[in-house]
Structure formats: C-alpha cells, structure tokens
Amino acid sequence: MADASSPILIFDSGVGGLTVYDALRDILPQAPVIYTADLAGLPYGEKSEAEVAARVAGLLGRMSERFAPRLVCIACNTASTIALGMVRDVLEVPIVGTVPAIKPAAAMTRTGAIGLIGTAATIRQRYVDALERDFAADKRLLRIAAPDLVACAEAKLRGQAIDTKAIAQAAADLRAQADGAAIVTLVLACTHFPLLAAELTSEFGPDVALVDGSQGIARRIAHLVDGQPMTAPDANRFVVTGPLEAAAGLEDALVQRGFAAPESF
C-alpha cells in the first residue's frame, strides 16, 4: 500500500501535460501530484526516436528515485509512443501513457474521415499505425505534423501572443488532403494542443469535434490508485529540468492549478 503522501508523478516535455493534470484534479482532487516538465529537452517532436527514448527513460529513472511516486504518467504522446515500453521495463511502479485518441474519434466520426495533428515524431510511429489498424481500419485517418503548435501552446499559457498563422496553416494542410473537407472529428495527438482549443475551433469551425485523451488518462490513473490513502499537500510541486528561468510567465497558470513555485530538478 502506498504511503498517503506518495505522489502521482506527471511527466511531459513541457506544459502540455497540464491538460491531463486538470482532468485528474477534476476526479481526484485529493491526490498529491508532482508535475515534471523537461523544459531543457523541449521540443521532443523534432528529436530522433533514440534521443527521446534515452532521455525519457533516464529522467524518469532518476525522478522515480528522488520522488518515490506511487504511479507515473507520461503525459506526452511523443514520449509515450516511443518510450512507454522501455520505461515500463525499467520502473517498478504503474506507468500510464498517453496515446492518440483514435479509438473514440473513430466511434464519433459521422463521415468516416478523421483528422489527426501531432508532432512529427508522433505521427510517424508504428504505434499510431497499429491504433489506426485496430480501431479505424474502416475509416480515413488523415495525419499532419504541426510542431509549431507546441510553441503556441507554451506561449499561450504564459500569457504571450501566439502565432495564429501556424494554426491556420495546420488547418489548411489537413483540409488540402484527399477527403480533408469531410473531417468532422480532429484528434489532438499532443497534450499541448487542447490548450489551443479555442484557436483550433476558430480555424476548423464549430462543427469539428476536438478529441483528446486527457479525461480517459485521468480515469485510468484514478482506477489504478483506487482505495489508496492520500494526503493532499498544501500545494502540489512543479519541477522543471534546466534553468528555472524557462518557467517564467507560468506563475498565474500554476497558482490557479494549486502549484507551489517552480523547482529545478
């Protein structure tokens, strides 16, 4: 049985995993959480598979030693599709990954067309090919890489101006594909992208449903820790790799979510 103060560790390359944190807080507000953002390694989507796998497994090994979590959530599609199996082999606590929400999107689409936007690394993974084969074999899954949207989401959470041209370009690129005009369901295959829900709806239109996995991930975490004692701290911890200056501008977003001041790992 886990110690009541043992945290759930949420790991992401940046702030995108806060969408998972928000969903988890809705259903498990008493859970102690340590959120870890690998800002020194951001962005993951432009790295090679070997680089991502080595970095994620190494960091989570050291973080698990330091923080002794009851469960680890890799709240990053790129890291999960590449390194989830390796991390599960290394760590001895439950690991919950984040993968593109193709299954629910396939059940929702009325036209048979599904759009998917993610990082360059995510959309080329065989893991995504397998999800398409298993859950959307009779549908048309249209994928594009939209790496610039990660920076847009990071900027938005800091209260900075965002480059809406990048969002417009992503929409145009997806619509330009065969059957792109039939898209009514859009998979947000990066945990950063739900932070841009308003901007994406503005570009794609109100009839396009945005689908992400944050609520399903939160439910999975809650199921795995069900019945365990929990003592919520006065404030949850927000930990970053690299210099603390990289977290500048996040203060308001973190306070609103019940975090203490950022710490360095």
Annotated catalytic residues are 76, 190
The DSSP element (H or E) to which 116 belongs, if any, is: strand 113-118
Buried b (16+ CB within 10 A) or exposed e, 154-191: bebbbeeebeeebbebbbeebbeeebbebbbbbbbbbb
**Distance between first and last Cα of the chain:** 27
Cβ(36)–Cβ(265) below 8 Å? yes
CB atoms within 10 A of CB 217: 26
Helices 214-224 and 18-27 sit at what angle, rounded to 10 degrees? 50
Q: Looking at this protein, which amino acid is placed at residue 175?
A: R
Sign, CA torsion 232/29/225/135: negative
The bridge status of strand 113-118 relative to strand 95-96 is unpaired
* Distance between CA atoms of residues 137 and 159, nearest Å: 41
* Of 239, 254, 182, 200, nearest in space to 25 by CA: 254
User: Which tokens hold the place of 108?
Assistant: 């929702």
Cis peptide before 43 (omega within 30 of 0): yes
